[in-house]
Amino acid sequence: EAGVAQSPRYKIIEKRQSVAFWCNPISGHATLYWYQQILGQGPKLLIQFQNNGVVDDSQLPKDRFSAERLKGVDSTLKIQPAKLEDSAVYLCASSLASTIQYFGAGTRLSVL
Amino acid sequence: AQSVTQLGSHVSVSEGALVLLRCNYSSSVPPYLFWYVQYPNQGLQLLLKYTSAATLVKGINGFEAEFKKSETSFHLTKPSAHMSDAAEYFCAVSGTGGGNKLTFGTGTQLKVEL
């Protein structure tokens, strides 16, 4: 069974530029999560989707971050414009009905 | 609100020694508790989970954890450390209700020395 796929693995941009990350969850997983992991910290939930609807986006900085999950499968997370403090690893996870979340390898973003 | 506190951002043990990584939780509802491991440049992998069944939970790679409600703890242990156990370990909590939102601790970096 294929795991959670994320791309790109690494991205370097300058501040004020825009960037997008892509996630393909495990087939059949209705719930998809985006986490931000800043160096030295644990992952923090940014947004959670159930199929193509948003369940929780309370910690998403909506002035610059946006996410969508068209057709309830793939998802894209966008940052526009990026700030230095957005440098982090962005992790995507998916889950079925159980409590277990399966994580992708992440996208490491460096904002210069 | 839920949170976890991991005591010790860095733990160093000798190969073959006991591994003990500490996690204390705070939750207003009965919690589900998890330990994840993260190897360099990889995503998080589930080690084990507690979901209100047996309080002693066995996971992969010889790890286990015990849920102690009276101490609000969920410490991770392994009797004998192996070099391949060197990684970062995260404790996480979620509520037993819908949503499954995970709240992570700040992580403990485990170093295994010869």
Considering only CB atoms, which residues of chain A are within 8 Å of chain B?
4, 31, 33, 40-45, 48, 55-56, 91, 93, 95, 99-106, 108
Nearest residue to B76 (alpha-carbon basis) of B57, B94, B100, B52: B57
Residue pLDDT, tens place only, A27-68: 999 999 999 999 988 999 999 999 889 999 999 999 999 999
Position B110 scores a pLDDT of 97
Q: Residue B34 pairs with which residues in a beta bridge?
A: B49, B92
Q: Give A18→chain B minimum CA distance, Å.
A: 23
Query: What is the C-alpha separation between A12 and A87, in angstroms, rounded?
Result: 9
User: Omega into B30 within 30° of 0, i.e. cis?
Assistant: no
pLDDT at A98 over 70: no
Residue B95, token pair as written in the block: 């509520």
Task: Determine, for residues B94 and A99 on separate chains, whether the beta-carbon distance falls below 8 Å.
Answer: yes
When computed from its CA atoms, the radius of gyration of chain A, rounded to whole angstroms, is 13
Residue A107, token pair as written in the block: 């996208």
Cα(first)–Cα(last) distance of chain B, in Å? 41
Query: What is the C-alpha separation between A41 and B106, in angstroms, rounded?
Result: 5
Please say whether the beta carbons of A64 and A79 come within 8 A. Answer: yes
Give me the mean pLDDT over the A98-105 stretch.
86
Residues in chain A: 112
Residue pLDDT, tens place only, B12-42: 999 999 999 999 999 877 789 999 999 988 8
Q: Give B97→chain A minimum CA distance, Å.
A: 10
Query: What is the C-alpha separation between A102 and B25, in angstroms, rounded?
Result: 22
Residue pLDDT, tens place only, B61-102: 999 999 999 999 999 999 999 999 999 999 999 876 555 788
Query: What is the C-alpha separation between A48 and A31, in angstroms, rounded?
Result: 7
Unique residue bearing structure tokens 């991205």: A11
What share of chain B in percent tops pLDDT 90? 75
Position B82 scores a pLDDT of 96
